[in-house]
Amino acid sequence: MIIQLDMQSELPIYTQLVNQIIEGIASGRLKPGEPLPSVRSLASDIGINLHTVNKAYTLLKQEGFILVHRQRGVVINPDSMPEITKAYMGKMRGELRPIVAEAISRGMSQEQLLQEMEQIYQEITQTDKEYD
């Protein structure tokens, strides 16, 4: 698993880590049941504080993307991914709303916005075929 963090980004490092792991799952690069590095190992490999990795793993565990086993360590949830719930839909809409508003304010049409969304979707899901 290749993690690329932007230390200059306004987005917190733990959020970047969560996002990259979720994208890895969505793209198929990370398979159900696949082990992830330990907190200490990942922190050491990418040069960040182990508490940052621990926070990312805790959030991923709470959302149901990973499981933490005493003997097997951290693994991508082998049983199922989190369902689409009302709470998730509210969270998604809340995160997308300011992005859409800014795009509209900058003059982007609905068609352009939908094309961008579709392109991002394709970029993520097409990588799935590369890793099968």
Kindly tell me if the per-residue pLDDT of 38 is higher than 80.
Answer: yes
Residues contacting residue 28 through CB under 8 Å, at least 6 positions apart: 127, 128, 129, 130, 131, 132
Contact between residue 25 and residue 125 where contact means Cβ atoms under 8 Å apart:
no
| Residue ranges of the chain assigned to CATH 1.10.10.10 | 13-76
CATH topology for 13-76 is Arc Repressor Mutant, subunit A (1.10.10)
The pTM for the full model equals 0.86
pLDDT value, residue 10 = 95
Q: pLDDT-derived band of residue 52, with 50, 70 and 90 as boundaries?
A: very high
Q: pLDDT-derived band of residue 71, with 50, 70 and 90 as boundaries?
A: confident
